[in-house]
Amino acid sequence: MWGGRFDAPPDPRVQRFTESISFDWRLLDADLRVADAHAAMLRARGLISAKDLAAIRRGVASIRRDGEARKLVFDESLEDIHTHVEHWLRERVGAAADKLHTARSRNDLVSTDLRLWMQDAATALLAELRALVRSLAKLAARNVDAIMPGYTHLQRAQPVTFAHVVLGYAEMLLRDRERIRDAAGRANRSPLGAGAIAGTTLPITRASTARALGFSGTLENSIDAVSDRDFVAEFVGALAILAVHLSRIGEDLVLWSTTEFGFVAMSDAVTTGSSLMPQKRNPDVAELVRGKAARVIGAHVALLTLQKGLPLAYNRDLQEDKEACFDAFDSTLASVECLQVVFESLTVRVDRMRDAARDPALLATDLAEALVLRGVPFRKAHETVGRAVRTAETGRSTRFAVPGLTASEVDVILDPARSVRRRHLATSIDRVRGLVARESEWRVGARSDKA
């Protein structure tokens, strides 16, 4: 946009460099909502006529219909979504369109649009996360008795239930829901009316447009209102943490589906074959979920780096926030949706898990705790059992001789199912059953998906 201040348009190379319509077209719905609310406020304050308001609203409705029908044509010479909306309005309603930009700037407008878009994006993602947690809860409920090795340092540690592991994923995702809702809540204040930097001399009412657009209030400092992008960085930061969680889940799925583990099998719907090796079933969805995390983390770093040296207030650098934000959201949402398909179609190989959990070394801690119950100090018990494990390994035996415990007592303790039942504060099957219900009914169902 060059306006009356300039005698000539920008160089075509500059025009291509500075345009944002190639990505900010996604703000169309938000921009139309702002146009409608702003025009209503201008009429209420006597700044435009009733006839102008009717024309603007008619034009906005027409643009919305054409947008929904995919009939709108974007032109990079019009630079951004705001200029496009004004252009389309002018084509439809004439001179009334020139009054819409009264008492507003693209600086406060783009921030308003992006905040509105974020509310919708957060709401959509919260709903998909809720569906993913429900899928996990159902998977846990179907396999509540399945016992597998738990791992630390990727080494077999102690027996756990598969359901307990799956609910661990659910806990991570429930925290992500809270973070996303929290970030969206902080973004839910309107900058509209802050103008380019210092507001306007015209008698507008910012609170009325904020209410009309569904904001919880207004941003009070006009300088901060147009230059703040904390809300973008915070939202994408929450997405980055979520993407890391999804990546960790993807990593487990990749490992568990290998021949070496064989704990799960992924369906044809989420795996692919090899162009060369006929036998292959590759866990591409899980691997791509793992890979998408790099993009989302990169977007968060880009947003922080973008802002670190900016003086107050608005600078054109901030145009770069949207591509990073949109890409991070798209990558995260797609990952959540596809993992839901993975878990809904996952085959759990209970026998392979049970066989791996029969490794007697997994019960070494149980042996030490049995000695503690006989009055042996834990450090002494730890040392005693450690020696017994080393002796068994050296002799290539699966039987442990533990001073202070009879052979029959050792055999009872080395039963993985009994071990799981004894852990009433963590992996006991009764406790896990209760947690399954808690995840699927209370913790997910009690809170709205509305950002």
193-202, 356-365, 442-451 — most confident range? 193-202
By the 8 A CB rule, do 161 and 148 touch?
yes
82 labelled catalytic: no
Question: Which residues, at least 6 apart from 278, have a Cβ–Cβ distance to it below 8 Å?
Answer: none
pLDDT of residue 10: 86
Residue 4 pLDDT class (50, 70, 90 cuts): low
Which of 49, 77, 274, 397 is an active site residue? 274
Superfamily of domain 358-414: Fumarase/aspartase (C-terminal domain) (1.10.40.30)
The model's pTM is: 0.93
Checking if the pLDDT of 209 tops 90, the result is yes
pLDDT of residue 6: 75
CATH architecture of 107-355: Up-down Bundle (1.20)
* Least confident window among 22-36, 222-236, 265-279: 265-279
By the 8 A CB rule, do 53 and 97 touch?
no
Q: Measure Cα distances from 387 to 368, 402, 443 in Å.
A: 11, 9, 45
304-341 pLDDT, tens digit per residue, is 999 999 999 999 999 999 999 999 999 999 999 999 99
pLDDT of residue 442: 45
Checking if the pLDDT of 2 tops 60, the result is no
Checking if the pLDDT of 445 tops 80, the result is no
Using CA atoms, how far apart are residues 369 and 382, in angstroms rounded to an integer?
A: 8
Question: Which residues, at least 6 apart from 54, have a Cβ–Cβ distance to it below 8 Å?
Answer: none
Query: What does the block give as tokens for 369?
Result: 């705790």
153 labelled catalytic: yes
Using CA atoms, how far apart are residues 411 and 242, in angstroms rounded to an integer?
A: 43
Checking if the pLDDT of 1 tops 60, the result is no
Residue ranges, comma separated, of all CATH 1.10.275.10 domains in the chain are 3-102
Residue ranges, comma separated, of all CATH 1.20.200.10 domains in the chain are 107-355
Bridge partners, 151 (sequence order)? 156
Which of 153, 275, 408, 424 is an active site residue? 153
Query: What are the respective helix, strand and coil percentages of the chain, to the nearest 5?
Result: 65, 5, 30
Question: Which residues, at least 6 apart from 61, have a Cβ–Cβ distance to it below 8 Å?
Answer: none
Mean pLDDT within 207-215: 98
Please identify which residue in the block is written with the tokens 């983390």: 297
41-64 pLDDT, tens digit per residue, is 999 999 999 999 999 999 999 999
395-443 pLDDT, tens digit per residue, is 877 778 999 999 999 999 999 988 888 876 666 666 667 766 666 554 5
Residue ranges, comma separated, of all CATH 1.10.40.30 domains in the chain are 358-414
75-129 pLDDT, tens digit per residue, is 999 999 999 999 999 999 999 999 999 999 999 999 999 999 999 999 999 999 9
Using CA atoms, how far apart are residues 251 and 245, in angstroms rounded to an integer?
A: 10
CATH architecture of 3-102: Orthogonal Bundle (1.10)
Question: Which residues, at least 6 apart from 196, have a Cβ–Cβ distance to it below 8 Å?
Answer: 105, 107, 108, 226, 314
